[in-house]
Amino acid sequence: MRYGEQLRDAALLNYTRRYGIDNYLNLIYPYQFWYTRTMMNWAMRMIDRPAWFAMYARMRRVQREMERKGLNQQMPALRSLRVLRACGAP
């Protein structure tokens, strides 16, 4: 039962874990709970799985190179396949 709750909290935010500071911050920044907790979740994922972000950085670099060369507009259906192959995906 606990494992399922942990998976749910990793995918969605647990709004029952609000602190007193959240109430005050909501006055200044509406919906701040979602922004701050999502940012913390992504920071934890970045520490836990840096390969995801390295792959994303490579993919964005290849996309920019393709845009600069003008290859981005030629075949939009094959663009993602080209980018993934250039990044080293099988």
| Res 85 pLDDT > 80 | no
Domain ranges of the chain: 2-48, 51-86
The predicted pLDDT at position 45 comes to 84
pLDDT reported for residue 77: 54
- Is residue 74 over pLDDT 60? no
Give me the pLDDT at residue 18, please: 84
List Cβ neighbours of 71 (8 Å cut-off, separation of 6 or more).
79, 82
SS3 for 65-80 is: HHHHHCCCCCCHHHHH
Angstrom distance (rounded) from CA 77 to CA 73: 10
Q: Tens digits of per-residue pLDDT, 7-65?
A: 887 788 888 888 888 888 888 988 888 888 888 888 888 898 898 888 888 888 887 88
